[in-house]
Amino acid sequence: MKKLLKIMFVALILFVGVVSVQFMIKSNETTDPQKIEQSKAVPPEQLKIETMNAIAQIVLQQFIENIMLNMEIDVVDDVQNIEISLQASEFIDEDTLLKDSYNLLKEIKKVERVNDVTLKWFMNVRSKNTEALTLTFDAKTVQSIDEHSYQNLPTAAASYWKHDNVR
């Protein structure tokens, strides 16, 4: 009698195991393909962090005397709008700011999923930290930045603004 109970118990365990394995296999096969694609997508917060780290490294490598004041990243539909505020030294002219912007854009184009990039340059004007130059570029211009020169950045930019005191 004890042997029969043991055999029935083992058979029950095997039966439960086989049914569970079949259930797991079947549920994996019927997983919605959209859910798989969504799980491969990078969450917006992680994308922002990765981009912030990449741009911070780019700015550190590109500039010796200019400092990054602020960076804002808005993720919209899995692409990023980036705004970078930079502090220029007070003796820098427009030509130098355009060269620095050009070099920065050449590196930013390597960052994934970038839509718009806005560079805001600040400098001391009459003892006040003032926005001196602002350039905004769309994704197409950022990706084709090698086809431009720093001199034509004002015309290549989607928007361009220069303070009257910038030489």
Instruction: DSSP for 117-131, please give it.
Output: EEEEEEEEETTEEEE
Q: Give the pairing of strands 67-76 and 79-87.
A: antiparallel
Output the pTM of the full model: 0.71
pLDDT range class, residue 12, cuts 50, 70, 90: low
Rg of the chain (C-alpha set):
28
- Over residues 1-11, the mean pLDDT reads 65
Confidence at residue 158, expressed as pLDDT on a 0 to 100 scale: 96
- Phi/psi for 124 (5° steps) reads -75, 120
Instruction: Please say if the pLDDT value at position 37 is more than 50.
Output: no
From 111, 133, 136, select the one nearest 123 (Cα to Cα): 133
- 157 has pLDDT over 50: yes
Q: What is the mean pLDDT of residues 48-54?
A: 89
pLDDT tens digits for range 76-97: 888 999 999 999 876 778 999 9
